Structures are given as structure tokens and as C-alpha cells.
Amino acid sequence: MNESGLFENTKVAAYFFWEHTGCENALDLWLCAEDTACFFEQTEILEVKNVEAIMRLDKYDYYYIAFVQHVSFRIFQYTGSSGEWHNWFAAERLLANTEWVEALVGMASIYRSEKRNQSVMNDVRSENVRAYYEERNQY
């Protein structure tokens, strides 16, 4: 995939964040999508089947809880919604949405394959995500 694939996937992911959270700040939703995709890449969630396997776990399973909690925290962090259960259920709905998961996995895969491509990484708006990959590229 190329820069336009990253843009299209981020646009889809941000749209679904908006749809499920009601946050009106487009930049925050965009940054949330980028940060979540970076989390997916860091944890090697690069295929839809990885998310599906986690979501099939028991709701009380440690890995299920930790995974949903990571997404829920990002919703809190970027939308400012302090409703813990609202964020949790939004995360679960998003993780059950195949189109959203495909967009995030697509972004994560691009981050993985293009992390050394400065042209692609310059298109990432999140300073946190860019800094993460810049740090990793120094080694």
C-alpha cells in the first residue's frame, strides 16, 4: 500500500470513531485512528483474524479485557469522553465492525512496512506516532 492507502484507511477509521463516539473534533478522531493503528502494529495485530480471535475470547479473559481497554483508553484520551462504560462499549462495537478493523489493520500494516519511508511517515499527523517510529528507526 502507499500513502493514499494510508489516507483512505485513516479516513475510514476516523469516520467510525466519530460514528461511535459522537466526538465532533475531526483532528482528534484522526489522531485517535493513527494512535490505535500504531498500537495494533506494536502488538502485531496485522490481520483481521487477529482481532477476531481476541474478540471471540471470554469477556472476562485477561487478553480480551486488556485489548478492549487499550482501545477504550484511546477513545477517552482523544475524545475527552469520561464515561468509562460509554468508551468501553464504543470500543467493543468498533472492534466488532469489520470495516473499521480492516482499516486499522491496513494502517498498521502500512506502518510496519513503511516505517522507514519518510515520505509516508510525514503524512502521519500524530506527533506521538511519528516520534515512536523515528525512535525505532534510530536503531
What pLDDT digit, counting tens, does each position of 38-88 carry?
A: 999 999 999 999 999 999 999 999 999 999 999 999 999 999 998 999 999
- Tell me which long-range contacts 13-18 makes (C-beta under 8 A, separation of at least 24): 13/37, 13/100, 13/103, 13/104, 13/107, 16/94, 16/97, 16/99, 16/100, 16/103, 17/75, 17/78, 17/79, 17/94
Task: Look up the pTM and report it.
Answer: 0.94
**What's the CA gap between 39 and 61, in Å, rounded?**
20
Dihedral angle sign, alpha carbons of residues 22, 25, 29, 35: negative
The pLDDT value recorded for residue 139 is: 61
At 2 the pLDDT is 62
Residue 136 has pLDDT above 90, yes or no: no
